[in-house]
Copies of this chain bind each other. A is one copy, B any other.
Amino acid sequence: MPRIIKHPELRREELLDHAQALFLTHGYDRASLNDVIAAAGVSKGAFYHYFASKEALLEALAERFARQALAGVQKIVDDPDLDPLGRLNALLATSRQAKIETAAEAWALFATLFRPENLVLFHRINLAASKSFSPVLVEIIRQGIEDGTFRTFDPEGVADVVMQFGLATHDVTAKALAGGSDADMEIAIDALEKRVRLYEIALDRILGLPDGSIRIGEPGFVRAVMTARRDSPAAASKVRGM
């Protein structure tokens, strides 16, 4: 019985990887700790050496997600060529920045997260993400208010609303992706496109901008994301990079 000892950090990361895969496919509740350690080829003792509990594992997973998501966003925030509106748009339309395939995978991830048995997982990630995401948004909005681009008060409130819309867009997209037939898909695409336009206008008006200023995605991007996903359904297994 050889006892392989890897670099501890790697072990921890490996545990997270396998947990992520299992939680995303079967849900946090239904994937047992035994499943996780079996998949990772690790004993109970080893697991509890790295994590205090199953909950703690989930927490760590959420943190990792949030860290990765924030890293992708930071580039936009640091870009000196962008004005506040440009920054906000870039932030909302990350699917435009990234290659469509990558975006599709992110959507697919969200689709699995939104499955009801992943509620807990989704909520944790959401919480962790918004904790690091929100200050960035607030800062951008504050800048915009200062230089007169945005005409509103309460930057935190607006940031909240922006986040809500962002999540709601994910939500409705994910549900469409999760749902079944091609015919349904067509209807869902139309509805979603319409919904996104509404969110754009809503944000325009909340921020005191002329209609058409906020662009979550160019017309047709919903269809592009959707079909890209259908053509490569591997997605969920390799979302690691997000």
Contact = CB atoms under 8 A, between A and B. Distances in A.
B198 A157 contact: yes
A123 B115 CA distance: 12
Contacts of A197: 154
Contacts of A168: 160-161, 164
Interface string A193-212: 01101110110011000000
B194 A157 contact: yes
A153 interface: yes
Residues of A contacting B: mostly: helix
Nearest to A196: B157
A80 interface: no
Given A119-B123, A123-B116, A123-B119, A158 B198 contact: yes
Interface residues of A, number: 24
Number of copies: 2
B206 A201 contact: yes
A198 B154 contact: yes
Contact of A154 (B119, B160, B164, B195): B195
A120 interface: yes
A225 B33 CA distance: 44
B160 A195 contact: yes
A160 B195 CA distance: 9
Interface in A141-155: 152-154
Interface string A113-129: 00010011001000000
Interface of A: 116, 119-120, 123, 152-154, 156-158, 160-161, 164, 168, 191, 194-195, 197-199, 201-202, 205-206
Given A119-B119, A120-B120, A153-B194, 18 more contacts: A119-B120, A119-B123, A152-B198, A154-B198, A156-B191, A157-B194, A157-B195, A157-B199, A160-B168, A160-B195, A161-B198, A164-B164, A164-B168, A201-B206, A202-B202, A202-B205, A205-B205, A205-B206
